[in-house]
Structure 1
Amino acid sequence: MNRRQFQQALAALALPLAAPAARAQSWPDKPVRFVLSQPAGSGPDILARQIGDQLSRLWQQAVIIDNRPGGQNVIGAQVAARAAPDGYTLYYATTAAMVTNVFTFKSLPYDPARDFVPVRLVGRSPFVLAAAASFPAKDLPDLIARAKAQPGMLAAGTEGPKTFSGMVLDSMAATAGIKLNQVPYTKAPEALQDLLGGRLQLVCLPEAALTAYIQGGQVRALAVSTGKRLPQWPQVATVAETLPGFEFTGWNGIFAPAGTPAAVVARINADLDKVMAQPETAQRLAALGTMAEGPMSPAEFGSFMKAERERWAVAVKTIGLQPE
């Protein structure tokens, strides 16, 4: 082999290593699509548009929001899972689509773990156990004591037994060894009206749905579902302070179809770090009841997802939830 042939052979060996880096450098050269399972105007939609607008400035390409609501996230998840794994279609997903659907459906037409690769966690949304200001219980230990003294006599409004709020409530009650009568509502404001009207004693709802009522003094927060107290409500204890290890939050995250080049995933992750570091992003998320997440690599997000699935598997077994 002469010198020229040797150099050509070295160049040929380097091509497979250079290709992913070259793809990441040239990506994106056309618009990027965010698939959402929620309708336009919903909380996730507003957040996705905020993040998409800022990414479009970085990328000098449009970020198109493709709303595919319905089927309890199944429609949107399928669209995203079947998209070409080239980095031009991303799935802006919630806890339900990527974790809890596995436990509430007997079968899913997509596999959250197999059909997607994690890109980055965007933010976490606390849930709050609350009562009307006139309710005698002042905190969670007081509530537990009253529930044990009056088994099955306290009614709690949620978004439904197989929704996040319903499962959080049932898991908390089971862990505490109490019985609460869960009353499902299709809209949070309806549950709050019944709470204020005395037809309910409790609600378990997203923080965003309760903030105005708590600030107005009509509703008292008894506990939050996060592992740590919320900076905006430092006086409100976590459930975990009474029931150690209890931690459940809703979240938003970005995923790519399985097979998307790792270099492209890393590029999107790095650009999301830049967007999430901007104060206006954190402020926008906070206004919608979501805590912005600090830097998180795709591998760290993958570990987070594994822990979430394990956490929910235990919770579902504890409450005896049956898939349909």
Structure 2
Amino acid sequence: MKTLFPTHALRRLLGAAGLACAALATPAALAQQPAYPAQPITMVVPHAPGGTNDIVARLMAAELAPRLGQTVVVNNRPGAGGNIGTEQVSRATPDGYTVLMTVSSTQVINPALYSKPGFDAVKDFAPVHTVGVVPNVLLVHPDFPARNLAEFIEVVKRNPGKYQYASAGNGSLNHLLGAMLNQMAGLQLEHVPYRGVAPAMTDVLGNQLPIVFASLPSSLAYIQAGKLRALGVSTATRSPALPDVPAIGEQIPGYSGDLWIAMFAVAGTPPAVIERLAKASHDAMADPGVQKKLAEIGVERLDDTPQRLAKRQDEDLVRWKRIVDASGARVD
């Protein structure tokens, strides 16, 4: 018999039923539990220090600590496109003392990209709160013979197969953004995967390769210093941090691909704990000082509830699977 719901949607319903059962715990049982949080919280970042997710996680950890009354320790566990740290969190005790601060490329692209990522993005995690969305920027070395997006498309079309673009690895968001650009603009950019965005950026800064897609927080300083030229942003609209740089979709209708950053707990974490974490994160995001800091590094506030984050993730799992399948990218 065919199910009436997609698998991930059915899992959301089952998860919600579990949370409802947990909420019926007796007052006596609840009274025996110490108030949360009663000890420091570990925030696992499944990516290397210095990247977008790490920058945001450290800001949020500092802001969450006074609101929760406990230290929030950031623990970087990079590797396999974020899979290693994410799998580690999936196996943690569901008590709210280990949380995951991750990005959409790991949580919704990797399940389509890897045959065995080591975790189930829906079944193993409980959505807590979305911090914000991050544009990626199409960047070229200043010596590249194009000063805007229209010139870039013209130059690349005149020279099919001549130009290469760097990415953080096969199936990474910046790889897929380039693949989308090829498909939608009729280009023939050659893809060169690296082991992470940092070495990719290093080679583009040194003009070993001329082109890269990179997140706005990790590239803004290079853009402002004139070391890289920004030609377009990947979000559907322009970024307030780069108001003079067009959205790629302005010239290529329908082109859009952003990166969201969000907090997840381990599946089975008590609803009251998730609510406490979500409220602390929401309150931190409501602080004008925090909003200013995020805007300065190119992160646009989203402030999703757990329910809205679950819906966003479910929709993006379907969307990015389609894009990954069309690109032919696979990592086994």
Say if 2:123 is the partner of 1:123.
no
Larger Rg: 1
User: Which residue of 41, 44, 47 corresponds with 1:32?
Assistant: 41
Higher mean C-alpha deviation, range 33-42 or range 120-129: 33-42
Q: Say whether the 8 Å CA contact 2:133–2:302 is kept in structure 1.
A: no
Aligned to 2:305: 297
What's the offset of the Cα at 1:127? Answer: 1.1
Aligned to 1:313: 321
What's the offset of the Cα at 1:179? Answer: 0.8
SS in 1 for 2:150: helix
Say if 2:107 is the partner of 1:98.
yes
What's the offset of the Cα at 1:175? Answer: 1.9
SS in 2 for 1:295: strand
Aligned to 1:169: 178
Higher mean C-alpha deviation, range 187-196 or range 219-228: 187-196
Give percent identity, aligned residues only. Answer: 32
What's the offset of the Cα at 1:16? Answer: 4.1
Matches within 5 A, 1:281-296: 281-287=290-296, 289-296=297-304
- Taking a change above 3 Å as real, the CA distance of residues 82 and 19 of structure 1, as seen in their structure-2 partners, is farther
- Unaligned residue ranges in structure 1 (runs of 5+): 1-13
Matches within 5 A, 1:267-286: 267-286=276-295
Q: Say whether the 8 Å CA contact 2:47–2:76 is kept in structure 1.
A: yes
What's the offset of the Cα at 1:219? Answer: 3.0
What's the offset of the Cα at 1:116? Answer: 0.4
What's the offset of the Cα at 1:92? Answer: 1.4
Residues 237-259 of structure 1, C-alpha deviations (whole Å, 9 max, x = no match): 11111222322122321001111
SS in 2 for 1:112: coil
What's the offset of the Cα at 1:188? Answer: 5.1
Q: Say whether the 8 Å CA contact 1:34–1:89 is kept in structure 2.
A: yes
User: Which residue of 76, 79, 90 corresponds with 1:67?
Assistant: 76
- Unaligned residue ranges in structure 2 (runs of 5+): 1-22
Q: Say whether the 8 Å CA contact 2:113–2:324 is kept in structure 1.
A: no
| C-alpha distance in structure 2 between counterparts of 1:278 and 1:235, whole Å | 27
Letter in 1 for 2:171: K
Task: Using structure 1 for the length normalisation, give the TM-score.
Answer: 0.84
SS in 1 for 2:112: helix
What's the offset of the Cα at 1:292? Answer: 4.2
SS in 2 for 1:61: coil
Aligned to 1:44: 53
- Taking a change above 3 Å as real, the CA distance of residues 195 and 44 of structure 1, as seen in their structure-2 partners, is closer
Higher mean C-alpha deviation, range 278-287 or range 219-228: 278-287
What's the offset of the Cα at 1:19? Answer: 7.7
| C-alpha distance in structure 2 between counterparts of 1:279 and 1:185, whole Å | 37
SS in 2 for 1:122: strand
Number of equivalences: 310
Q: Say whether the 8 Å CA contact 2:131–2:304 is kept in structure 1.
A: no
| C-alpha distance in structure 1 between counterparts of 2:148 and 2:320, whole Å | 25
Q: Say whether the 8 Å CA contact 2:136–2:258 is kept in structure 1.
A: yes
Letter in 1 for 2:178: L
- Taking a change above 3 Å as real, the CA distance of residues 205 and 20 of structure 1, as seen in their structure-2 partners, is farther
Matches within 5 A, 1:1-324: 16=25, 26-40=35-49, 42-186=51-195, 191=200, 194-195=203-204, 199-287=208-296, 289-324=297-332
| C-alpha distance in structure 2 between counterparts of 1:41 and 1:216, whole Å | 18
Residues 81-114 of structure 1, C-alpha deviations (whole Å, 9 max, x = no match): 1122222221112223312221221112210111
Q: Say whether the 8 Å CA contact 1:273–1:294 is kept in structure 2.
A: no
- Taking a change above 3 Å as real, the CA distance of residues 38 and 201 of structure 1, as seen in their structure-2 partners, is closer
Q: Say whether the 8 Å CA contact 1:24–1:267 is kept in structure 2.
A: no
Q: Say whether the 8 Å CA contact 1:174–1:318 is kept in structure 2.
A: no
Letter in 1 for 2:263: I
Q: Say whether the 8 Å CA contact 1:24–1:263 is kept in structure 2.
A: no
CA RMSD of aligned residues (A): 2.9
| C-alpha distance in structure 1 between counterparts of 2:60 and 2:32, whole Å | 23
| C-alpha distance in structure 1 between counterparts of 2:138 and 2:318, whole Å | 23
What's the offset of the Cα at 1:25? Answer: 9.8
Task: Using structure 2 for the length normalisation, give the TM-score.
Answer: 0.82
SS in 2 for 1:232: coil
| C-alpha distance in structure 1 between counterparts of 2:196 and 2:96, whole Å | 35
SS in 2 for 1:293: strand
| C-alpha distance in structure 1 between counterparts of 2:30 and 2:251, whole Å | 50
